[in-house]
Chains A and B, each alone.
Chain A
Amino acid sequence: MDDELAQIFDECRELVEDTDFPAVRRWLAANPDGKVLGHFQVYFPEELAHAAGMLPIKILGGPSSLQIRQADARFAAFVCSIIRSSLELALTDKVDFLSLFVTHPICDAARHSCGVWARNLPDLPCQILYLPHNVRSAYARDYLEGEYRRIAGIIEDVTGRPVTDEALRASIEVFNENRRLLRELYRIKRETPWLVSCVEAYLLTRTGALMPREEHSNLLRRALPLLQAREAKPQDKIRVVFEGGFCEQPPLEMLSVIQDACYVVDDDLMIGLRWLVEDVPADGDPFAALAEAYIERSSYSPVQRDPEKPKEEMLIRRIREANAEAAIVAAAKMCEPGLEEQVAYSRALDEAEIPHLVMEFEEKTNVFEQVRMEVETFAESLLFEFA
């Protein structure tokens, strides 16, 4: 049993670290006139692409092995790494299969990068899907439904296939199923963290961004029972929530350093794939259902203001609901929204007397001694305190 799991994780790791996107190229080989949509972080309604037979994949930078040679000259100094490495993928033809690129108004760098992509890739339509910043306006939902219809219109232009209500409902069901399986994975992580490590759960989640969603659900349906049946004993490790993985992703090695010292019982890693926290209702108008779900059935992040979901309160709720004892509050280097939220989080956690470790990371870091030392001292201080 364990060797089948080991094989699954090896395959997932290869996929996550391979900047040639093999799963996408396999799909294109099987669907010669298939089209691929690349979407930047954080959330994109992938059902809109799927309903037109288009393959939606996430453009989210590269592993530390990706050398950035051309992209750096395009950007000013204080720009985060995921913006640079994502453009590097495009400039070095690693994502030459894209027929449409979509980013979002999550931050000023992401909005700017749409202009940089468009100037450098004149044949690739580059779009910004303007998710609402005033979600509590009575006019926000109708606006967002219209914005989804606008993007669906562009997808129809690119694919030559209509995004019908019927096709969209079917796609919603495919993604509802995938999100259910991811919630099950996270339930195992929360309740029995000794059965699945932080890195293993992360690999199983992130591969969803790189392959057809039906394939990913099959992978999860295979892996979850194997995890449940694993023979592993709980260790004396502190339970922590990792916060700060909503956009630029921390390197795998950093997650493994953390899991050596703690159980990561919940996190916001790849939250874009888990943004909708419940099923999107299948009845009624599917565009309206997706827009309503974005606002009313969703998680939280530093790049989406919602006065009804103050982020520090949502973090404390995530910690309580995961029965965690502490938090690691991380932010990507040069990430304005992440670094600003870090201050609000640590002030609120101080007030709630929840121990926490504040740190910065970069997707391309490959030196981890300092992180290991910080995490180990933090974990030991808590063990001693709770002992």
Chain B
Amino acid sequence: MTPKDGAAPHAELIGATRTESRRLMEQWWQNLEAAENEGRPVANVFVMGSLAEILATFDIPMSFPEITSLQTAVRGKSMDYLTAAEDYGYSPDICGYVKVDVGVHLKGREHPNGKLPKPSLVVSPNTCNTYIKWSEIWERIYGCPVFVLDLPGWRGTAAAGMTLEDFERDRAYVEGQLRELIALCEQVTGTPFDIDRLREVMGEVNELSELYQQVLAENRHHPAPFDAMLEGLNFMGIANAYRGVPEGTEFLRIALAELRERVRLGMGAIPEEKYRLLLIGTACYSHFRRFLELFHGWGGVFVHSEYMSFGGGGIDRGIAYDLDRPIESLAEQILSSSGKCFSGIFFSQDWQADIVGGWDIDGICYHGIKSCRTVSTGLPDTREWQMREHDIPGLFIQSDLVDARLWSDAQMKNRVDAFFEALASRKAQARR
């Protein structure tokens, strides 16, 4: 397999992705601080429906409080902020991300990575109800406009499912709201809406989605070239922060080139891949290394995760924006990707079973986040359903994204070890 002309020579491919993602994340922070210093408006947005397509059209930098919150945990600093929010009155049982963010705002927006900008605008989809409550906290502190984008989601089960007429009604509602958001952005920035710029941004997202799917598909190989709970987190982070701009698309090209090179060299994400896993839930950022260690120690690698779907902005099922009718198509595509990737997580057993087949997966790890009901509420039920309906072995463990108090090492280790012992005996029987 000779490298395509212009592609970096082999040696430089390996490790290029991590270097580029570190550069881009630092640049993202620098852009936020520069906007704050120059008095340019910054928008607080969320990964499950950032509306980067519209914000990038107005060059409004996006601050992702979910990302800035997890960054404090990765640096081992989340508990200072979290306890500050609890001293202020927030309950130990609510979303850890919200409390870490409140803690940062209470401490003058001083974040380990830099000075968090003040939001001049908040775009909050309804894909997590806590997004809306979180937005109301900034609204009270800063008096900034909060735009709730209502994406009517998965409607449940009924003999007659959603009709085309129902979907068109939802789409028209979303389109109307997008036009209202565009008017708000014109007001906040004082610049007129440029529909051609929107087409450009949407074209980039079409490509970003295509590349993201190809990146995911590389993990169909044995061994899988990346771990969804390690390198995958960088792919998600950049796909969110640089959605709709060339650096984001270019980053995924670099990642894809490296992954293909690894596949060519037979280089797996871990030295000796023995078990291929799907993760449902999210990472644990307060014990990030330890979580992976528990699995990698057994030769277990996460070849896919639902987190790379909803946490990556819902671009993994394909986005096909029609640039001839940008706003209508934006409404349609955001609504359908939200239905599949965001509210779809409440009833995703069939998607999970397809991934298990397509990526040749041995078992599913359901990682519940105690303070996140959006991701965790029905995980034990889904695990039991998969075992009953598809005989897919599943592990259910619980910790938290950022609250170190909710991690119990002994319990996690016992459950993970027991799971792998069960997988080992299953493999042994299969060989007999």
Contacts and interface: CB of A to CB of B under 8 A. Distances in A.
B351 interface: no
A111 interface: yes
A112 B346 contact: yes
Interface residues of B, number: 59
A305 interface: yes
Interface in B140-187: 140, 146, 148-150, 152-160, 162, 166, 169-170, 172-173, 176-177, 180
A360 B380 CA distance: 26
A361 interface: no
Task: Indicate the member of B160, B162, B371 with the most A CB atoms within 10 Å.
Answer: B160
A146 B155 CA distance: 14
A340 B376 contact: no
A61 interface: no
A74 interface: yes
A143 B130 contact: no
A74 B381 contact: yes
A108 B370 contact: no
Contact of A107 (B89, B98, B129, B180): B129
A73 interface: yes
A112 B373 contact: yes
Contact of A125 (B133, B157, B378): B157
Given A76-B368, A108-B128, A128 B373 contact: no
A118 interface: yes
B157 A138 contact: no
Given A75-B377, A114-B346, A150-B166, A127 B130 contact: no
Contacts of B149: 134
A107 B129 CA distance: 5
B340 to A, nearest CB: 14
B378 A116 contact: yes
Contacts of A106: 129
A105 B169 contact: no
Contact of A75 (B89, B169, B381): B381
Contacts of B94: 336, 339-340
A248 B166 CA distance: 31
Most buried by A among B95, B148, B371, B377: B377
B88 A343 contact: yes
Contacts of B160: 153-154, 157
A115 interface: yes
B219 interface: no
Nearest to B162: A150
A336 B130 contact: yes
Given A78-B373, A336-B129, A118 B153 contact: no
A134 B378 contact: no
Contacts of B91: 331, 339, 342, 360
Interface in A260-316: 302-303, 305, 307
Contacts of A75: 377-378, 380-381
B206 interface: no
Given A138-B176, A339-B93, A116 B377 contact: yes
Interface in B214-231: none
B349 interface: yes
Contact of B153 (A130, A333, A334): A130
Q: Which of B91, B126, B166 has the most chain A CB atoms inside 10 A of its CB?
A: B91
B208 to A, nearest CB: 27
Contact of A78 (B154, B176, B370): B370
Give the size category of A's interface with B: 35 or more
A125 B158 contact: yes
A343 B177 CA distance: 30
Nearest to A304: B132
Contacts of A218: none
Contacts of A147: 152, 169
A130 B173 CA distance: 12
Contact of A119 (B169, B173, B343, B385): B385
Interface in A131-151: 132-134, 137-140, 142-143, 146-147, 150
B157 A105 contact: no
A112 B378 contact: yes
Contact of A127 (B152, B158, B172, B343): B158
B95 A336 contact: yes
Contact of B157 (A111, A118, A130, A142): A118
B420 interface: no
A347 interface: yes
A105 B170 CA distance: 15
Given A108-B373, A137-B176, A125 B156 contact: yes
B133 A108 contact: no
Contacts of A302: 133
Contacts of A344: 136-137, 140
Indicate the member of A111, A305, A346 with the most B CB atoms within 10 Å: A111
A125, A137, A344 pick with most chain B CB within 10 angstroms: A137
Interface of A: 73-79, 83, 100, 103, 105-109, 111-116, 118-120, 125-128, 130, 132-134, 137-140, 142-143, 146-147, 150, 153-154, 157-158, 302-303, 305, 307, 331, 333-334, 336-337, 339-344, 346-347, 360
12 contacts: A75-B381, A78-B370, A78-B373, A108-B377, A118-B156, A119-B347, A127-B157, A128-B153, A143-B152, A143-B169, A333-B93, A342-B89
Please provide the 4 A-B residue pairs with the shortest distance between their CB atoms, ordered closest to farther. A139-B176, A112-B377, A115-B346, A143-B173
